[in-house]
Amino acid sequence: APAQSKTTKAKVAILGGGVAGISAAKNLVANGITDFVIVEARDELGGRAHDIEFAGIRVEKGCNWVQGLGTNPVNQLSKKWGLQVAVNDGTDVVFYDNHGKVNGTKTYNDFNDALDKTYDFALKRVDEADISSRACLNIVGWNPDTPLKQAAEYYAFDWEFAENPDVTSCNYAQVGDASYDGSFGPNSDDDQFVIDQRGFKYIFIQEANQFLKKHDPRLILNTTVKNIKYSDNGVTITAKDGHKIEADYAISTFSLGVLQHNDVTWSPKLPEWKRVGLFGFHMATYLKLFLAWEDQFWDNNQYTVYADPANRGYYKQVTWQNFNAFTPKNDTTNIFFVTVTQDQAYRLEAMSDNDIKKEVTEVVRSMYGSHIKEPTHMYVPRWHSDPLYRGTYSNWPIGELEEHHLNMKAPVGRVWFTGEAMSREYYGYLQGAWIDGGEVGTKVAKCIKNKCPKQPYYPEILLTDEKPKFVKRQEWI
C-alpha cells in the first residue's frame, strides 16, 4: 500500500500546470472561485513552456516563438512582462544541395505562392468535405519533383505543422487555423523568437503569481495523476503516490498525446464517441536537436536548409537554425541546431545519444567538410516518448470532422477538457492553450455558481450525402 495516502478536497481540480492550467485557474479566480487545486507531475509550472541549460545559456526545450503578434494574448503577455525577443525572418535563409550552396529563393517563393493559392482554393471550397494539404497543393499546381522543391516545402510546411502535407488537412491548415492570416489585427502576421534568459515560461509563471501565494497549498507539484473516477456528481483523482483529490469538478489539461495513451486511466472508461474524437486527431512531434560547436562554420543567415537528394525530412533536408543570428552580438553561443519531425523524430528518439552524435557529425561533415569536429554539446529532447506529453503539439489531420473535434473537447460527467489541442482556432499554439484554458475556467465557474453551459457532442457522426455501400467480408473458416 502507498505510504502516503492523504486526501485533498477542492471545488475544482485542475489537472496539469501548463499554460492552459494557469489560464483556467486565472479565470476561475476572476469569477470568484478560489477553492481550486492545480495538480502537476513536474516540480514547476509551465508544461511545454520549458527552458533548459544548454552550452552555457538557457534555451527553450519546448515552445520558442510568439506566433502571431497584435492582439494575440501571448504577444500581450510578452509585452506586459517585458519578455526579451529577437526578430524572426524566415526569408533570411540559404539553401544547399549535395553540390554546395544553391539559389533557392525562386523555389521558396514559388512554394509560398502555391500556399497562397492553396488558401484561396481551400477558402472557396471550405464548406465541402476536407481533402489533404497535399491534394490541395497538387491541384493549385505545386509538384515537388526535385530535392530543392521538397526542401522548400519542408521548410515552409512541415517545420510549422510538424507533419507533412500528405496527412494534414487542407481546410483546417489553410483556413481553420487562425494563428496566422492576421487574425490578431493589422500586421499581426509575424513571429518573434524568444531569447529571454528567464525562459518563455516566465510570462505564464508571473500570471500564476498574481493569484498564487508563496508556498500556496493549492499548488500540488510532483504529483502524477494515475486514475480519474468521474460521474455526474463529482470527480476523484488518484495520484501515483496514493494522494486522493476529491473535487466537485475537474479540468483536464493533459496533452492530446497523454489522452491517447494509458498513462492516465479513467473510471468508467471514456465513452466511445469521446475516444473516436481523441484518437482521430494527431499529436505531432517537432524535435529540436540542440547542438553547439567550437566555431561557427555555417552561414550568418538565421536559417539554412539542405536539399538532400534522397531523403526528404532527413537532417540535410530540414531546417538548421543559427543561434548566433538571434542572440546579441557579444553573446556568441555557436549553437547551430536542427529540427526534425514526424518519422525522423521518432527514429531519433529511439536512438542512443552516442549514435545520434555520430550520425549528425557525419551529416555535418558531408555538408561542410571532413575537418568539422564533433559538437561540443548535444541535447536530445524526447517529447514523443515522454509519458507527460507524448509529442509536442497537435495537428489537424485529414479525416477529422468538426463533430470529432467537439467530441474530443466535450466534458464527461464533471470533467471538462482543455489544452492546446482543444482549441478549434488555435490548436498547436500557446494562444490555443491560453484562450481555451481561460474559456473552460469561466465555464466551470458558471457550473458552480449558476448553471453549466451546454457543450455539444455527437454520440453518432453520420455521413451526409452518398453513403458507401460496403460489402461484409466473407467468412471462409
In 3-state terms, the chain is what percent helix, strand and coil (to 5)? 30, 20, 45
Q: Which positions from 405 through 464 interact with ligand FAD, judged by CB under 6 A?
A: 419-420, 429-430, 432-433
Query: In whole angstroms, how close is the CB of 162 to ligand FAD at the nearest point?
Result: 8
CB-based contact 439:272 (threshold 8 Å): no
Q: Is 135 annotated as a binding residue?
A: no
Is the bond preceding residue 456 a cis peptide, omega within 30 degrees? no
Q: Which positions from 250 through 289 interact with ligand FAD, judged by CB under 6 A?
A: 253-255, 258, 263-264, 286, 288
Out of 11, 29, 31, 42, which residue is the one contacting ligand FAD (CB under 6 A)?
Answer: 42
Out of 388, 435, 445, 447, which residue is the one contacting ligand FAD (CB under 6 A)?
Answer: 388
In whole angstroms, what is the distance from residue 441 CA to residue 26 CA? 8
C-beta closer to ligand FAD: residue 16 or 104: 16
Q: Please tell me whether residue 75 binds ligand FAD under the rule CB under 6 A.
A: no
Q: Please tell me whether residue 199 binds ligand FAD under the rule CB under 6 A.
A: no
- Number of amino acids touching ligand FAD (CB under 6 A): 39
3-class DSSP state for residue 407?
helix
Cell of 75: 504577444
Q: Please tell me whether residue 379 binds ligand FAD under the rule CB under 6 A.
A: no
Out of 10, 18, 202, 320, which residue is the one contacting ligand FAD (CB under 6 A)?
Answer: 18
Query: In whole angstroms, how close is the CB of 321 to ligand FAD at the nearest point?
Result: 12
C-beta closer to ligand FAD: residue 107 or 423: 423
* Sheet with strand 377-379: strands edge to edge: 100-102, 93-97, 303-307, 319-322, 336-341, 286-292, 377-379
Q: Which stretch binds ligand FAD (CB under 6 A): 13-21, 297-305, 351-359, 360-368?
A: 13-21
In whole angstroms, what is the distance from residue 244 CA to residue 251 CA? 16
What string marks each residue from 134 to 163 as x (binds ligand FAD by CB under 6 A) or -? ------------------------------
Q: Please tell me whether residue 39 binds ligand FAD under the rule CB under 6 A.
A: yes
Q: Which stretch binds ligand FAD (CB under 6 A): 43-51, 125-133, 140-148, 271-279?
A: 43-51
Helices (H), 221-271: 256-259
Contacts of 378 (CB under 8 A, 6+ apart): 289, 290, 291, 292, 353, 356, 357, 360
In whole angstroms, what is the distance from residue 95 CA to residue 308 CA? 11
Query: In whole angstroms, how close is the CB of 116 to ligand FAD at the nearest point?
Result: 22
In whole angstroms, what is the distance from residue 34 CA to residue 18 CA? 18
In whole angstroms, what is the distance from residue 285 CA to residue 340 CA? 8
Q: Is 246 annotated as a binding residue?
A: no
In whole angstroms, what is the distance from residue 344 CA to residue 352 CA? 14
Query: In whole angstroms, how close is the CB of 40 to ligand FAD at the nearest point?
Result: 5
Neighbour count for residue 167 (Cβ, 10 Å): 18
Q: Is 225 annotated as a binding residue?
A: yes
Q: Which stretch binds ligand FAD (CB under 6 A): 44-52, 93-101, 324-332, 341-349?
A: 44-52
DSSP 413: T
Q: Please tell me whether residue 318 binds ligand FAD under the rule CB under 6 A.
A: no
Out of 20, 33, 137, 307, which residue is the one contacting ligand FAD (CB under 6 A)?
Answer: 20
Q: Which positions from 212 through 251 interact with ligand FAD, judged by CB under 6 A?
A: 224-225
In whole angstroms, what is the distance from residue 389 CA to residue 263 CA? 10
CA angle, residues 146, 148, 152, in degrees to nearest 5: 120
Q: Please tell me whether residue 345 binds ligand FAD under the rule CB under 6 A.
A: no
Q: Residues marked as binding for FAD? A: 40-41, 225
Tell me which residues touch ligand FAD (CB under 6 A): 16-21, 39-42, 47-49, 62-65, 67, 224-225, 253-255, 258, 263-264, 286, 288, 383, 388-389, 392-393, 419-420, 429-430, 432-433
